[in-house]
Structure 1
Amino acid sequence: MSTSADAILSARGLTKEFFGFKAVNNVDLDVREGTIHALIGPNGAGKTTVFNLLTKFLTPTEGRIVFRGKDITGVKPADVARLGLVRSFQISAVFPHLTVLDNVRVALQRKAHLGTQFWRSNRLLDRLNDEAHDLIEAVGLAAFAAHDAAELPYGRKRALEIATTLALDPPVLLFDEPMAGMGVEDIGRISDLIRRIAKGRTVVMVEHNLNVVSDLCDRVTVLARGEILAEGDYEEVSSNARVREAYMGSEDG
């Protein structure tokens, strides 16, 4: 399998078939290290299926996936996460009746080799406080550290989920529609947060909001009917006649 030299995550011939229907057909993809890479496309394009294949929540019918030079096609999702390919909002655990601080401390336990048992003593968990507060501040939740997660507005909960994911210190973060259901203010806040945390990391995201994609992403892969329609920076793909035709009637770029 030949991959781009600067790719941290690659797929070749990625295909997923459901009962004879090819939801994804022969997709080749290279995600360059240190970039924010978006997967976009109209409804039914196959972008979520590709995302689920990359994060190992689905097994490909055909094709190969390589992460940091290692073939991960047959690797389980939890093991892929341990390698540093972490899917936010699905893998991160936010407990509504724990405080923001305690949520982040729980997420830090694995990295600190403390396991994830809730009966760890406060003395042991207090060793994680400085790092937890740093993460909480990084996602803009310093004023909410003592609040229960259930009390947070929707956008702030998303920020907490990102903090718990960052606790694993992953080199690659994958976001599945991170702006879904958000108002304008929250979209701006989470966009700024993703931009900040992407420094020194690679981000892959499925996103419907094309304003977010144009503002955030270095590279964009457009999918339609399970195949790659176009790829490049946002200006390139948004001016592509085939992309405009695929989006006609569903989204305005």
Structure 2
Amino acid sequence: MTSRHDDGADYVLTAKGLTKVFGGIRAVDNVDLSVRRNSIHALIGPNGAGKTTCFNLLTKFLTPSKGTITYEGEDVTNLAPAAIAQKGLVRSFQISAVFGGMTVLENVRLALQRRVHGRSFDFWRSSKCLNSLEDEAVQLLEDVGLEDFLHDRAADLPYGRKRALEIATTLALDPRLLLLDEPLAGMGQEDIGRTSDLIKRVAETRTVLMVEHNLSVVATLSDRITVLARGAVLAEGNYAEVSEDPAVVEAYIGEPNDTYD
């Protein structure tokens, strides 16, 4: 198995012995994970490998059966998802989560309001108050390539553009660690290229942990890859290391289209 330790590295997120049991099934089994600061770290594996469960444990949408999670040197194992997000650990979801009836600009402006004005989304705030956030919202939308869609309804955007909008609203919360759950799922080739470039730009100033099934994207984007199988870590390393690991090769013989779900 490829080594999972790199002494002296600066880790923003670590998990030790992370385990989740549903009834008698160990969906996540004693997982150790260390995510380096200012890197793109991919979590991959076949169907049933435990990727999504592990992701939900790290973001506290599930409570571990045992194990610890440390973020920026602080034990956050028992914190709620909202408390985690307030500390700068923010996630996206497999299904695009935007307000379809609002414009692209309004979606990002609302997310900025959440960060700037406190804990709740106050829909009754004055137009003047919301307009004060407009310059930053426009800049975020330019950053993700949506400057030509400011006043379009979010529901009317093509799928790939909706994912870009979701990333923009996530960035509005000013995350230090961005967790992306299959950000390229369901995209055509053009959108995959555009979104991959966006993730690269995002990672220039942030740490990214992503669950992804598209191996060509993982190969070009990721600094480090953790491979899960049957809930446990099978291998970890860069793409060249894990793709040549005999245990990984054996685990994925017969997987079609060179992708892992």
Q: TM-score range by the shorter chain?
A: over 0.9
Partners of 1:57 and 1:110 lie apart in 2 by: 20
For residues 200-237 of structure 1, give each alpha carbon's deviation from its aligned partner in whole angstroms, at most 9, with x where no partner exists. Answer: 10000000100010010000000111111110000110
Instruction: State the TM-score, normalized to the length of structure 1.
Output: 0.95
Pairwise CA RMSD: 1.7
What letter is aligned with 1:19? Answer: G
Equivalent position to 1:124, from 125, 129, 140: 129
Q: 1:4 to 1:50 in 2, by over 3 A?
A: farther
Alpha-carbon shift at residue 46 of structure 1 (Å): 1.0
Matching residue of 2:12 = 8
Between the aligned partners of 1:5 and 1:192, the Cα distance in structure 2 is: 26
Deviation per CA, 1:123-160, whole angstroms, max 9, x where unpaired? 11110011000001000000000111011000000000
Residues 1-253 of structure 1 aligned to structure 2 (within 5 Å): 5-89=9-93, 94-113=98-117, 115-251=120-256, 252=258
In the TM superposition, residue 59 of structure 1 has moved relative to its aligned partner by 0.7
SS at match of 2:115: coil
Amino acid at match of 1:118: F
TM-score (normalised: structure 2)? 0.93
Quick one: distance in 1 between partners of 2:180 and 2:42? 9
Q: Deviations over 1:154-183 (max 9, x none)?
A: 000000000000000000000111111111
Q: Mind listing any 5+ residue stretches in structure 2 that lack a counterpart? A: none
Quick one: structure 1 residues 204 and 235, their matched pair in 2 at CA, closer, same or farther if it must change by over 3 Å?
A: same
More moved, 132-141 vs 89-98: 89-98
Letter in 1 for 2:198: L
Contact 1:11 1:27 in 2 (8 A): yes
Letter in 2 for 1:143: D
Rounded Cα–Cα distance in structure 2 between residues aligned with 1:65 and 1:139: 31
Q: Distance in 2 between matches of 1:113 and 1:149?
A: 23
Q: Report the identity percentage.
A: 65
Residue 89 of structure 1: how far off its partner (Å): 3.1
| Runs of 5+ unmatched residues, structure 1 | none
How many residue pairs are counted as aligned between the two chains? Answer: 252
User: 2 CA distance for matches of 1:224 and 1:91?
Assistant: 24
Shift of 1:5: 4.8
Inter-partner Cα distance in structure 1 for 2:19 and 2:8:
20
Counterparts of 2:135 and 2:46, CA distance in 1? 44
Q: SS in structure 2 opposite 1:11?
A: strand
